[in-house]
Structure formats: C-alpha cells, structure tokens
Amino acid sequence: MRVSERMKFDATRNRVNEARFFAMDTQDQAASGRKLRQVSDDPSGTVRVFRNRTRLENINQFRRTNDYVEGFLGKTEDSLRSITETVMRAKELAVQQSNGVWDAGSRNTVSFEIQQLAEQIVQLGNSTYGDRYIFGGFQTQQPPVAGDGHYGGDDGLIYVQLDEDSFRPINIPGRRIFEISVKDHGADVPLLKIVQDFKDSLQKNDLQGIYQASSRLDGALTQLAEMTASLGARRAGVRDAAERLDTLEEFSLKDNVSLESADPVTTALDMKRAETALSYTMNASAKVLGPTLMEFLK
Amino acid sequence: MPTGLQHLLNVGGESLGNSRLGIEVTGHNIANAQTPGFSRQRPDMEPNTPIGYGNIILGQGAKVARIARAHNEYLEEALRRETQNHGKAESFEHNMSRLQGYFNPDLTSTVRTRMDSFMNSLRDFANMPEEPAARINLLETANSFTASINLAHTNVVGLQNDISQELGVDCEVASQKLREIAGLNREILALQMGDNTRPHDLEDKRDLALAELSNLMDVQMYKDDRGLYTVRGAGGQLLVEGIFNSEIRLEYSSKGDQPQIVCTDFANTKTNPITDKIVGGKIAGMITVRDKYSQTVRNNLNEIAYKFGSKFNEIHRMGFGRAEFSESNGRNFFEGIDNPEFEPAQQITVATLIRQDTNSIASAMTPLTPGDNVIVNELLRITSEPMYSNGSATTAMFYDNFVASIGSATMTAKNELKASAVVKANVQTQKEQISGVSLDEEAANMLKYQHLFTASSKIITTADEMFKTVLDLKR
C-alpha cells in the first residue's frame, strides 16, 4: 500500500482531533457533573427531566397552598369549636334553668351570661384568616353575621388545587351554622336570635320560652356537629394530599438525579483514559511524521 | 547501413533529456505534495522503435511517451458521493445543534419553565383571589410567559434567517464553481491535442472544483467524447455543458416567505425553482433544518400561543374581576392571538387593560363575590386539557414531544455525521493511495533519475572518446 504525504498528515490530524474531542467531552462532563447537557444526549430522558421539574415546581406550590389551607382550616376549626362550646354552654344553662328550682332573680343573672354568649357568637362568626372572613362563602370581604344574626354570606365553596389532579373545598359556608332550621317554624331562625330569645325568656322568667330555647339549641348543636364532621373530612383530605406530595417529590428527585448527573467514578476513569489516549497519540505522531527517505539519501 | 557513433551520441543525448524530465516531474510532484486535488504524475518511458541493420535489429534508446496521471475516475466519483453525504450531514448536524440549543435542559427561561411559574402563581391567586399582591404576581409571571414564547419564536425565526443568509453565500460559491468548471473545460479544450497530451493539472483543478461543488449540492457528472464535463444537479438541471454554465441564486420573495433557490439557464434569461430538488450536500442539510425542523418548531409555538391563549381567554371572558371590575365580565387576558395565521407566538402579550389594572383579572363566576375563585380553578384545568395533536396531548406534552423530536433528530444527525466522516475518510485514503505524493517514493525516483542522468552522460563521454580514437587513427 502506498502512503502519501497527505494521508500521513490527514490521518494524524484526524487521530489527534478525535483524542482531543474525547478529552474535551469528558472534561466538560466532569466540570459540570452532568451527563445530560443537550437534548440530543437523551431525548426521552430530557422529557422526563422536564416533567419531573414541573412536578417538583408544582409540589413546592402545592406545599405552599397546603400550608395556607392548614392555617385556614385550623382557624375554621378553632372558631367552629368555640361556637359549639358557646352553644353547648347555652344549652347547659337552658337545661339548668328549665328546672323549677330557679327563681326570677337567678334567671336574670344568667341572662347576662347569655348576652355575652350571644356577642361571642357574632364575634366568632366573623372570624378572619388573613383578612378573609372564613364563614362567608365567597363573600370574604364583609362580616357574614350581621348585628341581627342573619347570615349575610353566600354558599360559595372555595376549592383549591392540592395536587396534580384534585381540587378540594377548604371552607365551611356559615349558613348551616348561623341559620338553624326549627320544626315549629317555617323559615330558618338565626342562631343569634335563638340565643337572644333565650335571654329574653330568662329575663321575663318565661319557662315556656326557656323550654323552646333548649330544644332549638339542640337543633343548632346537631347542625354544628354536621359541620364539624364535614370540616374533619376536609382536613383529612388535605393531609392525605400533603403526604402524597412527599412520596412524589422523592421519586421525581431520584429520577432526575439518575437522568441528569454524571457518575463521578465513570467520569474520573474516562478522564484518565482521555489523558492517556491524547498523550499517546501526540507521541506517536511526533515519531511517525518526522523522518522521510530524503534525510537518509545523501 | 552500419550503425554510426553519431547514433550512439543520439541515444545518450535523448536518455540525458529523459532523465532530466524525470527529475522535473519528480520536482513537480514534490512541489505539489500538499496541494489539494493534485494527482501524482510520472513519465512513461518506452523504447524507441528498433531499426533493422542487416540481419540484426537494434534498439534505438528510450523516449518519454507521455506524462501519465495516477488517477482513478471511479474513486473520484465515489469521493464526490461521500462528500455530498458528509456535507449534508455536517450542515444538518450543525444547524440542528443550534436549534436544539434553544431548548437546552440547562435553560431556566424556556416556555416550559415560564408556563410552570405562570400556572403556580395562578394557584397562589386561586388561594387568595382578594389579594392584590397575588394579582400583581400573576401579571408578572404572565408577562414572563408571553415573553418566553416571543423569544422562542424570535430565536427560531433568527435561525431560519441565518440559514437563508448562509444559503445565499453558498449559492454564490456554487455559481462560482460552475463558472470555474466551464472555464476549465474551455482551457482543457484549447490545450489538449490527443490522448497523450492531456493537461493533467487542469484536470485535477476541474475535479477539485467539482468535488467542492459536491460538498454544497448533489451533482452528477458525464464526460463527453472530448473529455469535457457535463454537470447536472438538483433534479436533472443542466448546470454545466462544455463551456457553458448556469447560475444558482437565492431569491427573496416579497411576501415574507422563506427565500428560494433558483437556477438560471445558460443565457441567464429564465429561472427554475430548485429549493426542494436539492437532496445532497451542505445546502440540502440547511434547507431541511430551515424548512422542516425549524418551521415545525415555529408552527408548534404558534399553535401553543394560539390554542392556549384562546382557551385562556374563552374562560377568562366568563369571569368577573375585583373592585370596579366586580360587576363586569367579557375581558380577554391575552392579546395578539386573533388570527392563527399571523404568527401568534410573536404577537402574544398580556392584554393592555390587564396590564393597566390587575383588578380586571377575572376570578369569580358570579359578580360581586370577592372570594370566588371558580374561574381561576377553571383556568388551571387548561393545563390538563388535551388540545393538541387531535386531542391527545396537553400543552406541556405537546411542547415536550416536539423538543424530544428535535433531540432525536439531532442525535441521529450526530451519528450520521460520524459515520459519513469515516466513510469519506476511507474513500479519500483509497484515492490518496493512488493519486497522492509520497516523499519517500519521490526521493527514490530522484536518485533513480540522477543515476540515469550520470550514466547517460557516460554514454556521451564514451562516444566522444571513441570519436577521438577514430580521429586519432590518422596521424
């Protein structure tokens, strides 16, 4: 086989170039610590990385939402519990005062406590969480319980997204808390009115009124229990979603590390290989390119 | 007739000339050892026709019959073919790498990441639709989102324009090569006189010009009976015939379409469009990236801007805003996407009213309900709506799919480039084995002709001495 000058030089150039490219590539990989540097390095892997990143970004957001919802539900639960306790106290007093042993004077004294309970109900009904009235449905910017006890909010359920595919309600509209349905009355009666009627009956020493208040407060307690139960369900749903986020996050992180990161041991070995290859190529080229027959013919 | 000493002098003299010619050819080879396209030459010596003297036949020395060129036409053709493949693979890989660079996994400002941020600020907004800060944040991320679509579109269009400009230059180079081949055809026609006197160096130059043209586009060459090249290309277009050549140009259209490549006739009076007919060489690689891959990306970005924006607007129009906008609806969130034909990816922005007053962002399904986030939740559901590829892909999936397909094409391109480089290098080596100059060989030749020269001069001196002896006979 004839070996021409250009062949010699071209082959050397190609070999050195190849060794250099390999060295540069491994160096780049070692310096960046990444094996996924271009889409073409792993097209389907890139897509998975994209999706995992979106997932992780969203998980951060869902966590923030979750923190907010936890606070919102916590506040709702506190308020609802206090309302329930207030109504229970009223019911307790109603049962106590419906007993014949109490006289008008003591009933009048109890009526002051009831007045305070009534004020508490209005206060608790108008609880806020971060400038939002929690019991107003969508009407979050004005107090839902008016001075006369009528519910001024609406029935709006506020849904928020807690993970990729579920939207859950976080609020309890106050209608079923502050408007109590009673058997002997066509329309619902405001909770506040029941308490205030109770107070009036105490002041008037009206035993019949006290009986009626007692039974109506029962109705109120039933509705409050229903609301507490549905609040519990909301909290459980939120916790459930939060736990799933942890599992998903771990999976997505692991997947991305395995797709994106270069293995340090492999990279180090590759570097060493590249270094050796390059210096061998250089040495060999220096020896082969030099001598021609010209130098030996004198 | 007896042979004379005169004859001996002639043989020696001719041999002296032959060996000098041998050194000259060797010198020419050494001088061109690194010249691209050069084929090594060698003097073909043959004995002169012998002459009969009585009952013997006597040789008449040697002559240089021709200077031959070490050359193989079939390898030359194979090399042209591989040069075409390699040229195409190289420009395709180069431009695909640029295109995929805009969707690099390292980037944090892509349409994909900006859409995630936009959606997450929408989720924040759903948590607190009453909160002015959430609205302002939503506006900011929406602005970044539209800006990222605009930028991606600008990048792709920029790449297409860069390619067109380079195409313009390459068309000029191709025309230059066509002129060169036609010009060399003319010179060769003028110089050659029969088979033994071919102008090898001009033929080498012509082959080189043809090889360089092959790097740009697919061409076929036919040799006519005078040894002149006829070149066809781009779907059989006649590019060179004898001393005539056509021109290749890039023509810009007024309508804003991509500029097209045309080929003129020899008289330069009419043009033929050939853009789609070039299937090999650097130009074909560039056209594929410009008109197929980049254009697909551009169309897809337009589709995303149009479909996502329109769907978003459709839902947004149903909703009511905050404060002074809490009793009115029917507002668009995005602008610039009215017509899918007018590059919506370039035009899309957040609507002016939204930018002026974030209270006009709709969140509520019913008027006068500040805590209502029904519309926001509906907007969030757009991300899971399969609006693309005949209802089989969501926005993110659609985006991912086209990025992955660019990545796969680039990966294939890189592999093809490696393969075509190896094949081309192989053919080139084969060609070099035949046509290339080896300095070792030339060194030996030089010595060979030098010795021949010395020996030939000895014949002359010997003849001279013999003359002297004869002349000295008479004293």
What digits encode the pLDDT tens for the residues B263-319? 999 988 899 999 999 999 999 999 999 999 999 999 999 999 999 999 999 999 999
Q: Which residues share a beta bridge with B335? A: B349
Instruction: Report CB contact under 8 Å: A4, B116.
Output: no
Asked whether residue A2 carries a pLDDT value surpassing 90, the answer given is: no
Instruction: Report CB contact under 8 Å: A47, B403.
Output: yes
**Which one has a higher pLDDT value, B2 or B310?**
B310
Instruction: Please write the tens of the pLDDT for every residue from B175-191.
Output: 999 999 999 999 999 88
Asked whether residue A91 carries a pLDDT value surpassing 70, the answer given is: yes
- Chain A residues in contact with B443 by the CB 8 A cut-off are 292-294, 297
Question: What percent of chain B clears pLDDT 70, i.e. is strictly above it?
Answer: 99
Confidence of residue B422 (pLDDT cuts 50, 70, 90): very high
- pTM of the predicted model as reported, rounded to 2 decimal places: 0.88
d(CA B280, CA A255): 41
The 8-class DSSP code of residue A142 comes to S
Q: What is the mean pLDDT of residues A230-248?
A: 90
Among B401, B438, B446, the residue with its CB nearest the CB of A2 is B438
- Chain A residues in contact with B369 by the CB 8 A cut-off are 138-139, 154, 156
Q: What is the mean pLDDT of residues B223-247?
A: 92
Q: How far is CA A122 from CA A74, A115, B440, in A?
A: 19, 11, 109
d(CA A229, CA B256): 66
Question: What percent of chain B clears pLDDT 90, i.e. is strictly above it?
Answer: 85
Q: Which two tokens stand for residue A80?
A: 């609802």
**How far is B431 from chain A, CA to nearest CA, in Å?**
10
Instruction: Report CB contact under 8 Å: B130, A141.
Output: yes
pLDDT at A280: 93
Tally A–B CB contacts below 8 A.
178
Of B139, B161, B93, the closest CA to residue B417 belongs to B93
d(CA B38, CA B41): 9
Q: What b/e string do you get for B106-134 counting C-beta neighbours within 10 Å, with b at 16 or more?
A: eeeebbbbbbbbbbbbbbbbbbbbbbeeb
Asked whether residue B340 carries a pLDDT value surpassing 60, the answer given is: yes
**Which one has a higher pLDDT value, B20 or B6?**
B20
Asked whether residue A249 carries a pLDDT value surpassing 70, the answer given is: yes
Instruction: Please write the tens of the pLDDT for every residue from A123-166.
Output: 999 999 988 999 999 999 999 998 888 999 999 999 999 988 88
The 8-class DSSP code of residue B102 comes to T
Q: What is the mean pLDDT of residues B245-269?
A: 91
Q: Which two tokens stand for residue A63?
A: 């966590």
Instruction: Report CB contact under 8 Å: A57, B117.
Output: yes
Instruction: Report CB contact under 8 Å: B432, A7.
Output: yes
Asked whether residue B227 carries a pLDDT value surpassing 80, the answer given is: yes
pLDDT at B1: 40
Instruction: Report CB contact under 8 Å: A3, B438.
Output: yes
Could you report the predicted ipTM of this complex, rounded to two decimals? Answer: 0.88
Instruction: Please write the tens of the pLDDT for every residue from B101-118.
Output: 999 888 888 999 999 999
Q: What is the mean pLDDT of residues A118-122?
A: 94
pLDDT at B198: 81
Q: Within an 8 Å CB–CB cutoff, is residue A261 touching chain B?
A: no
Asked whether residue A262 carries a pLDDT value surpassing 70, the answer given is: yes
Instruction: Please write the tens of the pLDDT for every residue from B53-72.
Output: 888 888 889 999 999 999 99
CB A199 within 8 A of CB A83: no
Across all residues in chain B, what is the average pLDDT? 93
Confidence of residue B196 (pLDDT cuts 50, 70, 90): low
Which residue of A1, A3, A4 to mutate against B (max B Cβ within 10 Å)?
A: A4
Q: What is the mean pLDDT of residues B366-371?
A: 92
pLDDT at A298: 64
Which residue of A35, A59, A138 to mutate against B (max B Cβ within 10 Å)?
A: A138
The 8-class DSSP code of residue A104 comes to H
